[in-house]
Amino acid sequence: MPSSDIEDTVIGYLKKFDLIAEKIEETEEKTPDFIVRGKDNVLIELKEKFDAQTVHEEQKSTLESGEVYQRTHTTGYWRTISNVIEKGIKQLAAQKSNTNSKYCFLFVVTSGVNPSTQVKQFESTFYGRKSIIDVDSASNEAKWCYYFSESLFLRNKNIIDGAFVINGSTGIARLLINDQSPQYDCLKKSEFVAKFVNKISIVDPLELEASESILIADTKIPRRNEEAIKQYVFDKYSINRGMVLDIPQTVFQASLDF
């Protein structure tokens, strides 16, 4: 259950965009945390992601001793994050019709020892992202390929329409649009999404692909057949020599005295 401080943070954050998030009274049934009423009601479930207590204690001890704290994680799909998201989606599904809500969103606050990496992990878990390098390209830089692996947006496309992912350290938020939702077109034109346009970063895979910023594995091939997915993507984008990667991210932290 999210703390009252985090709930207040969400209410205050949405208020900055002229949106009133009403706290939903808790019952014995699974209930989301908030509802935003309007022309189309929006259900919102809040999730906060910590690391294990031992990890937080290790970070604190290292920094207090004056040493540099180092931690490395991949930025792809994570099973533990998937479990957090799935619980939230079940709560949204249980009350969507009861609250006469048109859209369902998750609001995720990353509060681990490395929130910036957690943000990328959540995005990858929602979108099933992996990195692909086209060895023969002029830039030779990696691009994200969306829906390459298991994707919670794709798997739950009839329930969840998007998610806010907030870096708990900086307070910077990204709005992730579920382009697999059958409500995608009307969501893009909705009053709710309009509140955030040109104010925060909005991730829309279809727009990103159109600008050649990302790749999309838009195929019905089962995601467990990674080799077939890889061949499909390479054929679609004319990649003759390429590599599929889960790129790790290493962060170094130190405590400075001023």
**Residue matched to tokens 């479990």:** 83
Report the distance separating Cα 253 and Cα 258, nearest Å.
16
pLDDT tens, residue by residue, 10-24? 899 999 999 999 998
Report the distance separating Cα 118 and Cα 200, nearest Å.
18
Q: How confident is the model at residue 255 (pLDDT cuts 50, 70, 90)?
A: low
Residue 192 has pLDDT above 70, yes or no: yes
**Least confident stretch, 75-84, 116-125, 223-232:** 75-84
Enclosing domain of residue 64: 4-253
Residue 211 has pLDDT above 90, yes or no: yes
Q: Is residue 141 part of a domain?
A: yes
Amino acid at 12: G
Q: Is residue 258 part of a domain?
A: no
pLDDT score at 2: 47
pTM of the predicted model as reported, rounded to 2 decimal places:
0.84
Report the distance separating Cα 187 and Cα 203, nearest Å.
13
pLDDT tens, residue by residue, 138-167? 877 889 999 999 999 999 999 999 999 998
For a pLDDT cut of 90, what percent of the chain falls above it?
56
Average pLDDT, the chain: 84
**Least confident stretch, 53-67, 98-112, 160-174, 211-225:** 53-67
* Structure tokens given for 102: 């048109």
Report the distance separating Cα 159 and Cα 138, nearest Å.
40
pLDDT score at 197: 96
pLDDT score at 133: 93
Residue 102 region by backbone torsions, left for phi larger than 0, else alpha for psi between -120 and 50, else beta:
alpha
- Going by their DSSP bridges, the two strands 130-134 and 142-146 should be labelled as antiparallel
Q: Is residue 53 part of a domain?
A: yes
Q: Is residue 84 part of a domain?
A: yes
Specify the higher pLDDT residue, 183 or 6: 183
Q: Is residue 239 part of a domain?
A: yes
Specify the higher pLDDT residue, 1 or 194: 194
Q: Is residue 65 part of a domain?
A: yes
**Least confident stretch, 126-140, 151-165, 178-192, 227-241:** 126-140
Q: How confident is the model at residue 252 (pLDDT cuts 50, 70, 90)?
A: very low
* Structure tokens given for 127: 């979108």
Question: How many domains does the structure of the chain reveal?
Answer: 1
Which distant-in-sequence residues (6+ apart) come within 8 Å of 6 by Cβ? 46, 48, 109
